[in-house]
Amino acid sequence: MEPILLIHGGAGNIPDARVPGKISGCKRSLRMGYDVLKNGGTALDAVEAAVRYMEDDENFNAGYGSVLNLDGEVEMDASIMVGSTLSAGAVTVVRDIKNPISLARLVMEKTPHVLLAGAGANKFASENGVPTVAPGSLVTQAAREALENFKKKGGKLTEIGHKNPGDVGTVGAVALDKNGNLAAATSTGGINGKMVGRSSDTCIIGSGTYADDEVAAISTTGHGETIAKFCLASSIIREIMHGQTAQEATKDVLEKMTARLKNTAGAITLDKEGKVGVFFTSEKMAWAYRKTNEIHYGIYPDQHETEEAQDDE
């Protein structure tokens, strides 16, 4: 099987000034993850590596660079899933964890549970040697300014017609490895100006993340409450099972979700044969994929650039 890695760097009302950083960050993340696949590694290791890169890069709303809750703190969600066994792990409302996606993986591999929250997840992290950072050190200047602007404009989130320029996008990855195994991973700081303790779709298996070797792997981004209400990832899975292609299902479900719930999102889908689906109803969504030596990427609607990978750089 020809391996493929497909990633997103978040959907939303992304300011134009942040576009170049998103695209270059996506390309670096793609390289980190694709190197794993090229060297014969698993889809699980590849999606974790790609997401870890984006968690460390402040251009993305995950890990360092996460948006802030109303009290000015970073609280993060992440989930990961393996398509061969349907094993899944997730964390929600975790603080001071450098790479929440790796903590989600440990929940999957070392506990009898799928989702650990808040203080319990942080306790599990320290018991298992997962790196934590000093309180406040994941907060960036850009995140502080975004929260200040949000508060200046009234500081209220809307349930319908959500448009918050501080939301700079969840990150995610889906991969198919040489053995035909799929995996998916998603990580976020959530929504700028969210309530303290708010959980997002990103930690909900079937909304933010899903992987099934018999169908497809999916990671979503956008307005979390809307994605959760529509069970976005599992709705895309269902349409593929009913005969739609990865692209048709991704587009169709997102358009129906936005028509019904009046908020936007995006998703990346990789089916069991390696066919790609990329679609968003948001203003922008950064995405990129690599198959063989070809890199594909875009961020604006209908943008699709192609270039050859330069592995020796």
Per-residue x/- marks for ligand GLY, 223-242, CB under 6 A? xx--x---------------
* Contact assessment for residue 114 and residue 105, using Cβ atoms and an 8 Å cutoff: no
Instruction: For residue 270, give every residue at least 6 positions away whose Cβ sits within 8 Å of its Cβ, in sequence order, or none.
Output: 4, 6, 174, 175, 176, 182, 216, 217, 218, 246, 276, 277
How far apart are the C-alpha atoms of 212 and 103, rounded to whole Å?
Answer: 21
Which residues face 132 on adjacent strands?
A: 97
Q: With binding defined as CB under 6 A, does residue 79 bind ligand GLY?
A: no
* 115-123, 131-139, 186-194, 234-242 -> range binding ligand GLY (CB under 6 A): 186-194
How far apart are the C-alpha atoms of 216 and 84, rounded to whole Å?
Answer: 11
* Contact assessment for residue 238 and residue 269, using Cβ atoms and an 8 Å cutoff: no
221 belongs to an annotated ligand binding site = yes
Among 190, 206, 274, 298, binds ligand GLY (CB under 6 A): 190
* 100-108, 134-142, 196-204, 292-300 -> range binding ligand GLY (CB under 6 A): 196-204
* 37-45, 113-121, 220-228, 294-302 -> range binding ligand GLY (CB under 6 A): 220-228
How far apart are the C-alpha atoms of 277 and 102, rounded to whole Å?
Answer: 25
* Contact assessment for residue 264 and residue 274, using Cβ atoms and an 8 Å cutoff: no
Q: With binding defined as CB under 6 A, does residue 11 bind ligand GLY?
A: yes
Q: With binding defined as CB under 6 A, does residue 170 bind ligand GLY?
A: yes
Among 188, 258, 269, 281, binds ligand GLY (CB under 6 A): 188
Residue sitting closest to ligand GLY (CB): 224
To the nearest 10°, report the CA torsion of 239, 272, 189, 167.
-60
**Distance between start and end Cα atoms, the chain:** 26
Q: With binding defined as CB under 6 A, does residue 201 bind ligand GLY?
A: yes
170 is catalytic: yes
Query: Nearest approach, Cβ of 265 to ligand GLY (angstroms)?
Result: 7
Query: Nearest approach, Cβ of 261 to ligand GLY (angstroms)?
Result: 13
Residue among 42, 170, 269, 281 flagged as catalytic: 170
The answer for 290, left when phi > 0, alpha when psi is -120 to 50, beta otherwise, is: beta
Q: With binding defined as CB under 6 A, does residue 202 bind ligand GLY?
A: yes
Among 193, 222, 277, 298, binds ligand GLY (CB under 6 A): 222
Binding site for ligand GLY (CB under 6 A): 10-12, 167, 169-170, 188, 190-191, 200-202, 221-224, 227
Residues carrying an active site annotation: 170
Annotated binding-site members for substrate: 198-201, 221-224
